[in-house]
Structure 1
């Protein structure tokens, strides 16, 4: 009996485009996606469309119950808090390890400079360099398994950030200042300080996003940035 084979590169291309459209908001939360929809949109076979939907469901880009149509995932306040607390646990330990060696990856500096440049144009479209800042710190540890664990959260984190920054709730000025402060603390060898700054940084975003998605913001949402207060007066 002949076995059906799906061309992986074609499925990869469909998956990547759909993932991008979800992150940018072109496909809003709750949007249904059937095999026929995907096959027609990309002019691919139903088998390829099915494989793409299965991949995106496994990656939690889509949500599909038993015998139900796949839909773009809808994150609620509890989801956001779980995602952000998980990344805080992981990132905090990595910052302590990097601070022990006083090692700051150049990629993190570059990403933060890009955020500052984008903010300088009046844009809030900083999801990609913001995520790259945090990912570069994780990857700097040099642990394939740690990076794999963090990257498994990457899409959900990007989706959270896109939803929050799309509402212009987070100031890029604060983001840039807090990123810079994290790097300063790593470079000075203050792992505990870097972890504390990260916790403040992510907690504010977590609670603002939870509120944007229908929850009640915790007190962390209104805490003034200690990174801004630490900057020298001019």
Structure 2
């Protein structure tokens, strides 16, 4: 990890900056599952005070990317089949409810269309670059409800969702054209007012990613 000097932004700004850098390195695989993150190591690597390093670690523990057990250093959470299934099923519950509500007024989020357009423009084949627009597509469904609490609930598992998605595409398990086509079908159902069909399509879409990742993890 490269050093980043303490800035005049104040403690909160420093903590957020360190948290963002650590989050990016975890999600990219630079910091791997099971790797320990100590306050001393983070403090030295980023040139920040120990309390700032501790606060950044605690933020990542709260978001689910790190886990800390009694008298042990925080470690990057391991992605196992049980975690994958729980994360994907939590997503399905929240996003299915969002789709039914959106379909009741035939409201297709512009942000979801734009995100999926990025995916459809990608060359056919598995590509880790789909993770960003794919996540924006699904988040747009939740944000379109304009509910602060629903959005907060969804974002409480967002880092774990991103970690799972990065694992799926990092292993090149899903084709970009398939993802885009499935997204388009979901939005068509919403536009037609078919909430149950949209929810069923979402379930099939997320279940496919879930099963492929679980199979890959079992094989490992």
User: In structure 2, do the counterparts of structure 1 residues 84 and 122 end up closer, same or farther at CA, with 3 Å as the change threshold?
Assistant: closer
Q: Which residue of 1 aligns with 2:174?
A: 170
TM-score, with length taken from structure 1: 0.86
CA distance in 2, matches of 1:55, 1:148: 15
Q: Which moved more, 1:164-173 or 1:51-60?
A: 51-60
CA distance in 2 between partners of 1:184 and 1:157 (Å): 24
5 Å-filtered alignment, 1:134-173, equals 134-173=138-177
Deviations 1:134-186 (A, max 9, x none): 00011101111111111111110000000010000111111000000000000
In the alignment, which residue of structure 2 is the partner of 1:66?
70
| Structure 2: tracts of 5 or more residues without a match | 1-9
* RMSD value, Cα: 1.6
Q: Give me the whole-angstrom Cα distance separating, in 2, the residues matched to 1:18 and 1:118.
A: 28
Per-residue CA deviation, residues 167-214 of structure 1 (Å, 9 max, x unaligned), is 001111110000000000000111111000000000011111111222
For 2:205, which of 193, 201, 207 is the aligned residue?
Answer: 201
What is the TM-score when the length of structure 2 is the normalising length?
0.92
Task: Pick one of 7, 12, 15 that aligns with 1:11.
Answer: 15
Distance 1:215 1:122 in 2: 19
The corresponding residue for 1:219 is none
The alignment of Structure 1 onto Structure 2 pairs a total of residues equal to 211
Larger gyration radius, structure 1 or structure 2: 1
| Unaligned runs of at least 5 residues, structure 1 | 1-5, 217-234
Write the distance in 1 (CA, Å) between the matches of 2:176 and 2:128: 7
